[in-house]
């Protein structure tokens, strides 16, 4: 009996030793895999490589179909930092109790994720991917990070997988920190690259709009930089700005600016090398080294041929327009004169008919004819005045006139219109006004008629007063 008991104890010791060796072998394997994973993570160049290196290690010991790393910098919402499936990249999570526990050194196993608000999805296809979930997280200097392992098989995770994940936490922490660092580094590089691209694009846009050719010279105007060795497909052979220009007036302008260390702006140049078909506008300014010593000029040469052509076209069009306007004015003057001649004959015949025996109805027709003729004569006079003004031949018919009498004639005509609107129209004249003044009675009447007529037209109540003073 005693021997049997000792034999059982011996068997238990052997079994425990076997289990210990198996655990030791398992731990050794895990350590080897972790070390291999750390090496892979250290050599990784991108966050995807770090993420894949981490998953390759975990997959050796923990089963999963998909994995997601989410992070947050404001402790408010978590966004996807890396995932095994682009389908997850749009997912976001609010900072919740599960993530809080995971980020404070707790590994969480969810046997029924769909019963939690965090993993309840309206999309049934997406929901099926989260039948079992394991969560672990960490708190880093830049915020919080959580890794989510998801399996489509129910009950895939147990306390055994939880212990394995917890043993891998140093590796997880290193990987997630590296992923976060790579993400921020990539974002910074992307931002700087974008800024550099925009700066380059901005410079190119400025170059295309501000100047066609950039140059730099030393103090003797020898070229030290040319943005292009050709202008309009013509090679620049000369190594000196002044030799290239070869124009005494332009060169003297530039030399005078150099003596004063002053810039020069938009000096127009018609180069011989282009057979005088191209116009350039030269601009330059001096630049200095860090000690304030003058070291040369920098500037641009802008093609202004199109602008020169537009100016010539505008000048030509202006001359043609002036010719056409003069011809029109001459035509209007001639036509006004030609129409006035037969119209005067008609008015003369109307006067003759007035002295003949006519019925009342015929006399009314004659009055209408005379009124229409007078109106037409006034219109012709206005057209003739416009044509004379445009032709520069308009002359006032100035002679001594009774000023107040001329004013009263115009005012009396407008008084009826004012009374129809219920407006008082009055004229006040100073005692200093002489009886006769030197003026054009017709033009004066036109001015009074227009000014007072407009005053009556745009006054709905009140009064209109005409004051005459010396």
Looking at residue 25, what is its pLDDT? 64
Regarding predicted confidence, which is higher, 327 or 181? 327
Q: Which residues, 6 or more positions from 333, have their beta carbon under 8 angstroms from its beta carbon?
A: 384, 387, 388, 391, 393
Strands 143-151 and 66-72: antiparallel
Tokens of 469: 């003073």
CB atoms within 10 A of CB 146: 24
**Which three-class secondary structure state does DSSP give residue 294?**
strand
Cα gap 128→151, rounded to integer Å: 9
**Of the listed ranges 31-40, 122-131, 290-299, 330-339, the one predicted with least confidence:** 31-40
The predicted model scores a pTM of: 0.38
Give the strands of the sheet with 143-151, arranged side by side. Answer: 92-94, 77-83, 66-72, 143-151, 132-140, 108-110
Among candidates 284, 314, 280, which has minimal Cα distance to 296? 284
pLDDT tens figures, 45-97 = 666 666 677 777 777 778 889 988 888 866 678 888 888 888 888 888 888 88
pLDDT tens figures, 60-70 = 778 889 988 88
Compute the average pLDDT of residues 104-133. Answer: 88
Among candidates 325, 324, 323, 378, which has minimal Cα distance to 347? 378
How is residue 114 annotated by DSSP?
G
Looking at residue 51, what is its pLDDT? 67
Among candidates 162, 159, 112, which has minimal Cα distance to 135? 162
pLDDT tens figures, 160-216 = 888 877 777 776 677 667 666 766 777 788 888 888 888 767 766 666 565 578 889
How is residue 62 annotated by DSSP?
S
Regarding predicted confidence, which is higher, 446 or 157? 157
pLDDT tens figures, 11-36 = 777 776 666 766 666 666 666 666 66
Looking at residue 114, what is its pLDDT? 87
**Of the listed ranges 143-147, 171-175, 262-266, 417-421, the one predicted with least confidence:** 171-175
Cα gap 319→34, rounded to integer Å: 90
**Of the listed ranges 92-96, 322-326, 364-368, 417-421, the one predicted with least confidence:** 364-368
Looking at residue 208, what is its pLDDT? 59
Helix-, strand-, coil-residue percentages of the chain, each rounded to 5: 55, 20, 25
Sign of the CA dihedral 53, 55, 56, 62?
Answer: positive
For residue 377, name the pLDDT band (cuts at 50, 70, 90): confident
Element (H, E) at 207: helix 169-210
> Cβ distance 268 to 274 under 8 Å?
no
Looking at residue 293, what is its pLDDT? 92
pLDDT tens figures, 253-299 = 999 999 999 999 888 888 776 666 788 888 999 999 988 899 999 98
Strand ranges for 261-362 from DSSP E: 264-269, 280-288, 294-303
Looking at residue 262, what is its pLDDT? 93
Looking at residue 374, what is its pLDDT? 67
**Is it the case that residue 302 has pLDDT exceeding 80?**
yes
Tokens of 270: 């018609």
Tokens of 155: 């009950």
Element (H, E) at 94: strand 92-94
Cα gap 72→103, rounded to integer Å: 11
- Alpha carbons within 13 angstroms on the beta-carbon side of residue 134 total 24
């Amino acid at each position: 009996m005693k021997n049997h008991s000792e034999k059982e104890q011996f068997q238990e010791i052997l079994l425990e030793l076997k289990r210990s060796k198996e655990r030791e072998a398992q731990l050794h394997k895990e350590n080897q895999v972790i070390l291999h994973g750390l090496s892979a993570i250290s050599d990784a160049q991108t966050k995807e490589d770090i993420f894949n290196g981490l998953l390759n290690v975990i997959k050796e010991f923990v089963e999963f179909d998909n994995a997601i790393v989410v992070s947050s910098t404001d402790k408010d919402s978590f966004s996807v930092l890396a995932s095994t499936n682009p389908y997850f990249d749009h997912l976001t999570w609010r900072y919740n109790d599960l993530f809080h526990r995971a980020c404070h050194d707790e590994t969480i196993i969810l046997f029924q994720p769909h019963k939690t608000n965090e993993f309840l999805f309206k999309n049934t296809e997406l929901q099926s991917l989260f039948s079992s979930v394991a969560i672990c997280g960490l708190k880093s200097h830049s915020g919080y990070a959580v890794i989510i392992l998801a399996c489509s098989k129910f009950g895939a995770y147990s306390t055994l997988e939880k212990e394995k994940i917890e043993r891998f936490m140093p590796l997880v922490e290193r990987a997630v920190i590296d992923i976060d660092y790579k993400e921020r580094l990539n974002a910074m590089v992307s931002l700087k690259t974008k800024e550099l691209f925009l700066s380059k694009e901005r410079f190119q846009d400025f170059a295309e709009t501000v100047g066609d050719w950039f140059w730099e010279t030393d103090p003797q105007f020898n070229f030290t930089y040319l943005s292009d060795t050709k202008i309009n497909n013509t090679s620049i052979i000369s190594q000196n700005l002044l030799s290239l220009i070869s124009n005494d007036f332009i060169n003297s302008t530039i030399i005078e600016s150099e003596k004063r260390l002053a810039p020069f702006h938009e000096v127009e140049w018609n180069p011989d090398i282009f057979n005088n078909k191209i116009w350039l506008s030269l601009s330059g300014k001096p630049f200095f080294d860090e000690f304030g010593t003058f070291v040369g000029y920098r500037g641009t040469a802008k093609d202004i041929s199109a602008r020169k052509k537009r100016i010539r076209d505008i000048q030509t069009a202006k001359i043609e327009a002036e010719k056409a306007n003069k011809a029109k004015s001459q035509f209007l003057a001639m036509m006004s004169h030609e129409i006035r001649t037969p119209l005067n004959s008609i008015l003369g015949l109307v006067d003759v008919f007035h002295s003949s025996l006519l019925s009342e109805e015929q006399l009314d027709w004659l009055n209408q004819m005379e009124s229409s003729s007078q109106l037409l004569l006034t219109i012709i006079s206005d057209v003739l005045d416009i044509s004379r003004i445009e032709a520069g031949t308009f002359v006032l018919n100035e002679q001594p006139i009774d000023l107040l009498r001329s004013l009263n004639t115009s005012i009396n005509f407008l008084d009826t219109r004012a009374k129809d609107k219920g407006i008082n129209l009055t004229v006040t004249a100073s005692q200093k006004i002489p009886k006769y003044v030197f003026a054009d009675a017709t033009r004066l009447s036109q001015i009074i008629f227009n000014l007072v007529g407009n005053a009556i037209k745009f006054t709905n109540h009140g009064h209109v007063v005409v004051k005459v003073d010396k």
